[in-house]
Amino acid sequence: MMPRIATLAFAALLALNGAASAQDKTWRHGIILAKSDAGIFFTITKKGFAEKEGLKVDLVQFKSDVIELQALIAGDIDSFDGGPGAAMAAAARGADVKVIGCEWPGVPYAVFAKSSIKSVPDLKGKLIAISQPGANPDVVARALLAKYGVPVDDVRFANLGGDLDRFKAVVAGVADATVVSNEYTPIAQQQRLVTLALAKDLIPQFMRICIFTTGKTVATRGDDAAHFLAAEMAALKYALSHREETIALTHAIIQDKPDDPRPAFIYDDAVKTNAIDPEMHIPMDKLKWMEEQALRDKVLPGPYDVSKMVDGSVREKALALLAK
C-alpha cells in the first residue's frame, strides 16, 4: 500500500503544480512606444484588471506597428496594438494575422509643418517625416495627399523615428512636415508650426488602432485571448471614467514635466470625440476603406477581402466574460 500511496501523493503534487502553472499565464502584448496617451494603454497593468482574468500581461514597447507585426509573426508577442495598414498588407500576402478587436477607431493625427508651408499642396517637393512605410503616419500622409490631389511622387518621405523624433525634425528644419499625434498641438503653437490638417476632419474613415493576433494563437490560446480582451475592455472603461488618475499615470510612465500639456490634451480630445471604444467593435466599413487606400497606394498586391483577416469570436467571448 505504501508505494501506491506515495504514487498517489506524487500525482496529486504534480496536479497541484500543474494547476499553479496554469494559473500563472503570461500574455505579451505589443504597444507603440509610450507617449502622452500611455496612461490609457497602461491601465490594464493596474487595478488588477489582468489578474482578475487569470492573466499576467506584459506590455512590450516598439517603435512602430510594422516592427510589432514582425514580432507577432516571429512568435515573440501574443498580440499587439497597431494600425491595420501593415497587417493588411501582410495578410494579403498570406501572413497569419487576425483582427480581434478595435479599441481606438478615432483619428488623433495632425499634420504639422514649417511656417513657410500654408497648405497641403505646398508640400510638393518637400520632405515629410514618417515612421516606417506602411505604419500609420505613412498611411495618413498618403491619404491626405490624395485628398488634396497631390501626387505621392511629388513629395519625399523619410523614416525619422517616433512621434517626438519626427516633431523635433520639423522644429529643427530637418523635415518640412510630419504626421504625429494631435497631442503636439499645444507645443506646435509654441514652436510656431502650422497645423496643415487634422486627420479626423479629412479622413474620418481612417482606423487608428486595432488589436491583432494570429489564427494559430486563437486556435491554441483562444480562452487566454478572450480573457485578455476582457481585461482590456474593463481597463479602457475605467480609464475613460477616471481622468485625473489616468493623466497622472501617463506623467509617471513617460516621466515628463508636470506642466506638460500633452497628456491632458490627448485624454480630453479622446473623450470629447468618442475616439476610444471600450467594447472594441470591429468596424468593417473603416477596414474596407483602408483596404481601398492600400490598393490605391499599391501597398496591396491586388484586391483583398479584408473580412478574411477578421475574427470576431474572441471579442464575443470577452463580452460574455464581462457579462458574468
213/99 same-domain check: yes
Task: Give residue 21's pLDDT.
Answer: 38
235/319 same-domain check: yes
Query: Which of 176, 202, 228 is the endpoint of a domain?
Result: 202
**Residues contacting residue 312 through CB under 8 Å, at least 6 positions apart:** 100, 282
Task: Give residue 227's pLDDT.
Answer: 98
253/308 same-domain check: yes
Task: Give residue 9's pLDDT.
Answer: 37
For residue 174, give the H/E element and its range: none
* Confidence grade of residue 24 (pLDDT, cut at 50, 70, 90): low
Q: DSSP letter for 80, please.
A: E
- Domain-embedded: residue 272: yes
Q: Which domain holds residue 96?
A: 25-106+207-323
**Which residues pair with residue 157 across a beta bridge?**
128
Query: Which of 202, 232, 265 is the endpoint of a domain?
Result: 202
Q: For 248-268, what is the mean pLDDT?
A: 93
Task: Give residue 15's pLDDT.
Answer: 38
For 127, phi and psi rounded to 5 degrees?
-100, 125
181/117 same-domain check: yes
- Domain-embedded: residue 188: yes
Task: Give residue 282's pLDDT.
Answer: 97
Q: For 301-305, what is the mean pLDDT?
A: 91
154/51 same-domain check: no
Q: What is the mean pLDDT of the chain?
A: 90
- Domain-embedded: residue 15: no
213/304 same-domain check: yes
97/215 same-domain check: yes
- Domain-embedded: residue 195: yes
Rounded CA separation 239/216 (Å): 31
Task: Give residue 266's pLDDT.
Answer: 93
Query: Which of 152, 172, 202 is the endpoint of a domain?
Result: 202
* Confidence grade of residue 283 (pLDDT, cut at 50, 70, 90): very high
**256, amino acid identity:** D
Task: Give residue 324's pLDDT.
Answer: 85
Please write the tens of the pLDDT for every residue from 177-228.
999 989 899 899 889 999 998 888 888 888 899 999 999 999 999 999 999 9
Q: For 140-144, what is the mean pLDDT?
A: 89
Q: For 242-252, what is the mean pLDDT?
A: 97
Task: Give residue 7's pLDDT.
Answer: 36
Q: Percent of the chain at pLDDT above 90?
A: 72
* Confidence grade of residue 1 (pLDDT, cut at 50, 70, 90): very low
- Domain-embedded: residue 12: no
For 211, phi and psi rounded to 5 degrees?
-105, 130
Residue 188 sits in a domain of what CATH number?
Answer: 3.40.190.10
**Which residues pair with residue 79 across a beta bridge?**
29
Tell me which residue of 162, 148, 243 sits closest to 199, measured CA to CA: 148
What is the DSSP track for 41-55? HHGGGSTTHHHHTTE
